[in-house]
Structure 1
Amino acid sequence: MKWLTKIFTTNTIADNAEEMKKFLIVGLGNIGAEYVNTRHNIGFKILDYVAQKESLSFETAKLGSKTEYNIKGRKLILLKPNTYMNLSGKAVQYWMEKENIAKENVLIITDDLNLPFGTIRIKAKGSDGGHNGLKNIQLVLNTTEYPRFRFGISDEFKKGQQVDYVLGEWNEEEKAKLPERFVLSKEIIESFALAGLNNTMNSFNGK
C-alpha cells in the first residue's frame, strides 16, 4: 500500500499547487477624490465593482490598495496602484515579484481613447498606444508582452482638449451604460483566470 500512499500524496501536492495558481489583476488609475469618477480611472472602477460583488474590502498595501479572492482553484489578486498613472510599472513589478506571478498571469486594465465607449479589446501584447500607464509598465518590465484589457472611452473631444477629456467625468449617457459594462468586465477577469487568455479574447473582444 506504500506505493498507493505515495501516489496519493504526489497527486495531492499537484492538486494543491494547481489550486494556488495566482493571477494579478491590475486596474490603472490615479489616487485622489478628484479622479474617482474620471474616464482615466476606469481600471480602478472595474476593480471596485468586482470587490463590491465579492464582498471584498481593499486594504492599503505597499505601492497600492489590494484585495483578493478565490474562484474555482484560482487566486485573483486585485491591485490598484497608488503610484499615480505615470509610475504604474513600479507597483506591477513589485507585486509580480512578491507573489511570484509570471507576466502571462498578469492582466492590466486600462482606458483606451482609440476605442468607442465601452468597447472591449483584450490583447496578449502590444504598444502602449500613447497611454502613460502602459508606457511605464513597458519600461519597468522591459517588455510589451503582457496581457492587457483595454476599455474604450472614445475620442469625443476637440483638438487640444485630450487631457481635459481623459481626466473629465463620464457624461450622463455613459453613466447609464457603465453598469452593464462592469458586469461584462467581471466576467472577463474571471474568464482570464479560468479559461485562459486566448479563450477570453475569442469570447469577449469587440463586445
Structure 2
Amino acid sequence: MKYLVVGLGNIGSEYENTRHNIGFDVLDVLAKEAKLEFENLRYGAVATYKYKGKSIILLKPSTYMNLSGKAVRYWMQQEKISQENVLVVVDDLALPFASVRMRQKGSDAGHNGLKNIQEILGNANYSRIRFGIGDNYSRGKQIDYVLGKWTKDEEPALHEPIDIAIKMIQGFATIGPARTMNTYNKK
C-alpha cells in the first residue's frame, strides 16, 4: 500500500526557514534521518520513504503554496494513491506555536494551500497535520508573520514538535489516522 505525504511550502531561498514552510521542514528532517535524497521531478521534489513495509511518497510541491493541489493530484494519479492515503503537513496560525494536531478532514481555515487542494480534489476529505505557528503579529501584519523567519527563541523549540510530526507520519501509514490522533494529539 502506498501513501502520499505532502509538506506544504514555497520554493526559493527567500522562503527557507519561514513559518509558512514548516511542511517542507518536517519532510526535510524526516528525509535526513532516513538518509533519503529528494529528486526534482514534475511539480515537486520527491523521495520514497520505506517504513515498516509501507511505501511513503514524500512530496514538496514546486508549484508554490497557492497551487499545491496541482502537485497533489498529479502525484496521487502518478502513484495510484487513494485520497484516504494522503496526508498534508501544513502551518496553522490558529494553533499555539509548536503544537501539532492531526485531523482526518476539515476546512481550509483560510490557508491558500489547503484551499487549492480542496478545490482540485473537490472535497476536504484528506488527512492533515496542522503545525502551530502561533499568531504573534500585529493587526495587518499576518502575511509578514507567516512569511517571516523563525526567531532565535523559536528555532530550538521546533525540534520536539517536528519529531512528533514525523511520528504522526509514520503512524498514519502503519496504525492509521485514528490511532495516531489518539496517541499524539493529546501531547
Same fold per TM (> 0.5)? yes
1:91 positional shift: 0.2
| Deviation digits for residues 105-146 of structure 1 (CA, Å, limit 9, x no counterpart) | 000000000000111111111110000000000000000111
| Deviation digits for residues 10-60 of structure 1 (CA, Å, limit 9, x no counterpart) | xxxxxxxxxxx1100000000000001100000000000000000011000
- Residues 185-204 of structure 1 mapped to structure 2, 5 A cutoff: 185-204=165-184
> Partner of 1:172: helix, strand, or coil?
coil
- Residues 1-207 of structure 1 mapped to structure 2, 5 A cutoff: 21-207=1-187
Match of 2:162, as an amino acid?
F
Report the structure, 1 or 2, having the larger helix content.
1
> Partner of 1:149: helix, strand, or coil?
strand
Match of 1:184, as an amino acid?
I
- Structure 1 stretches of at least 4 aligned residues deviating more than 3 Å after TM superposition: none
Instruction: For structure 2, list consecutive stretches of 5 or more residues without a partner in the other structure.
Output: none
On the 8 A contact 2:50/2:56 being kept in 1, the answer is yes
User: Matches of 1:155 and 1:177 in 2, distance apart?
Assistant: 16
On the 8 A contact 1:119/1:206 being kept in 2, the answer is no
* Structure number with larger C-alpha Rg: 1
Match of 2:123, as an amino acid?
T
> Partner of 1:109: helix, strand, or coil?
strand
Deviates more, 1:110-119 or 1:169-178: 169-178
1:206 positional shift: 3.9
Deviates more, 1:175-184 or 1:104-113: 175-184
Question: Pairwise CA RMSD of aligned residues?
Answer: 0.7
User: Matches of 1:126 and 1:184 in 2, distance apart?
Assistant: 21
Sequence identity (%)? 54
